[in-house]
Chain A
Amino acid sequence: MGATVRDAPVIEAVDLRKSYEGVEAVRGLNLEVPAGSIFGFLGRNGAGKTTTIKVLLGMARPTGGGVRVFGLPADSPEASVDIRRRTGFVSEDKDLYDYMDVGEMIRLTASFYPRWRADLAQRYLRAFELPPDRKVKALSRGMRTKLALLLALCRGAELLILDEPTSGLDPAVTEEVLQALVTHVASEAMTVFFSSHQIAEVDQIADRIAIIDRGRTIVSGALDDLRENFRRVQLVFDGAAPEVEFSAPGVVRVRRNGRVLSVLSNAGAERVIEKGRAFGAVSVDVVPVTLKEIFLETVAAED
């Protein structure tokens, strides 16, 4: 994937808002998904992930702000058809037609996509061990997920949107699905945008993430950059940690525990260390932060 292609965002949301009967599900969400990225969309249950995805695909209309996919307005019914022609989608419930068999589902989906990859469909049918003549309603949850993934991957899409793709799957099937996804993306030029609250799987396959909470983006960026920038600084004092407001740039959360002041920063450790020394810290310890900690701390900081 060339640098020029990577520069153009495939998904761009600016101050996106969506309310359902007065309840704000998404409130001022900003998002930029570069082309060619595997973008993890993290958030707690009810954070607004599924609503955002529905807006991207024209299933729900935004009540405010703007969202563009491939540079097209997602809230325009005409543009939305074009967006969906270029997008593969797997819903959280692995929404399929129970009354059809696997072969019928494949033929139906293929009929909508001129770039349908029949060769890939055959390959995934074998790899996922999906029986073509079995009714969808008779498939296990794992098989259903694999079929939904097959139908999304073979569309010849430029963008893959997956809403909680591994929810409800056992670890073995989860691993199989993730491996299939990574292998597919490695061989095809495409962008993947997937929502999850499974931090481990996001950590495993994403190169960029956004963490949202209560309908707003609270952290966004390249995963490597976040790992680089997020630091936990443990400041140890002679006596009790001072009851001062710790307002250094990038400070996300401060915790006091006896003589220890634990500061989470998203802008490196230097400024925090400086400030800590100024308050009389006798010992400073800087530790890297895992994605799980970033998620838990930033979400907790919003509470």
Chain B
Amino acid sequence: MLWYKSWLETRWRFLIGLALLIVSATGTVLVYPRVAGILAAPPKVDVSGEIGRRVMEAIELSRDYRGYVWSQWFRQNMPQMWVLFAVLIGTGGLLSQGSGGGALFTLSLPITRQRLLAIRAATGLAELVVMAFVPSLFVTMFSPAIGQSYSLGDALVHSACLFIAGTTFFSLAFLLSTVFADIWRPALLACLVAAALAVTAEVVREFWRFSVFRVMTAEIYFRDGRLPWLGLLASAALSTAMLYAAARNISRQDF
């Protein structure tokens, strides 16, 4: 029943996120014929500078359907939206519920705080798995509708990388929720960290090699067919460490 309780607490964040991601995935696929049409004409953009270079790169990638899906979906729309909902699902819990919000009732049940936290984390992670895989499967599923095909294997690999690396933001929000007794500070701080990392990786090219977003987008897999094992392991280790710290933190709290 604790699983059910955790599900009830996070279901709207999950369902809204899933719906938005599915709509976005479907839209990305269905808009491709128009994009391909536009790309047939020579681009009328200023190609100087970093932004110009990126625009040109996106245009070049989009000449091929696999490149378009990676560039628009797995590199842009999906990570941005997914991280936002990972943070939202990671926030909340015992500390923010406080007195009057159900925390004392929960703590009066014969269950350890570690188990409570583990169930909440597992529920959140299960929701994020669904949010990582299902929208990407829609890409594979809807591609034939526009006369294209997208490999199921590619969709699964990109979704897995997104989930494993992106879980660090869920874990960060989860950890911050054991520090601050409201839902806004953990959510805002985790979003700020994600935004700062994303902007830094975009502005400082050297940082991109080490960016968690590069692991999330599985750029190495897209370009070379290799999995970013080191990045995935590092992300998983960081997530585990933050979840462990959250468990330690909550076990020390007074309510």
Contacts and interface: CB of A to CB of B under 8 A. Distances in A.
Interface of A: 20, 54, 57-61, 77-78, 81-82, 84-85, 87, 89, 91-93, 95-100, 104, 107-109, 111-113
A108 B7 CA distance: 13
A266 B2 CA distance: 50
A97 B94 CA distance: 12
B229 interface: no
A97 B255 contact: no
B109 interface: yes
A60 B5 CA distance: 23
A208 B77 CA distance: 66
B110 A97 contact: no
24 contacts: A20-B254, A59-B104, A59-B254, A60-B254, A77-B112, A77-B113, A81-B110, A81-B112, A84-B110, A87-B108, A91-B104, A93-B100, A93-B104, A95-B100, A95-B101, A95-B103, A95-B104, A96-B105, A97-B5, A104-B4, A107-B1, A108-B1, A112-B1, A112-B111
B254 A82 contact: no
Interface string B183-216: 0000000000000000000000000000000000
B255 A54 contact: yes
B99 A93 contact: yes
Among B2, B108, B109, B110, residue most surrounded by chain A Cβ atoms (within 10 Å)? B108
B50 interface: no
B9 A99 contact: yes
B98 to A, nearest CB: 9
Contacts of A87: 108
Given A54-B254, A57-B107, A108-B1, A95 B99 contact: yes
A85 B110 contact: yes
Nearest to A148: B105
Contact of A91 (B2, B99, B112, B113): B99
B240 interface: no
Contacts of A111: 1
Secondary structure class of chain A's binding surface, majority of residues: loop
Given A93-B100, A95-B100, A113-B110, 9 more contacts: A77-B112, A84-B108, A87-B108, A91-B104, A95-B99, A96-B102, A96-B105, A104-B4, A108-B4
5 closest A-B pairs by CB? A85-B110, A89-B108, A60-B254, A95-B104, A111-B1
A201 B9 CA distance: 37
Contacts, number: 70
Interface in B75-132: 99-105, 107-113
A61 B105 contact: no
Contacts of B5: 97, 100, 108
A108 B2 CA distance: 7
Contact of A57 (B4, B102, B108): B108
Contacts of B31: none
A60 B107 CA distance: 10
B255 A59 contact: yes
B148 interface: no
Interface in B1-29: 1-2, 4-5, 8-9
B251 interface: yes
A97 B111 contact: no
B3 to A, nearest CB: 11
A100 B9 CA distance: 10
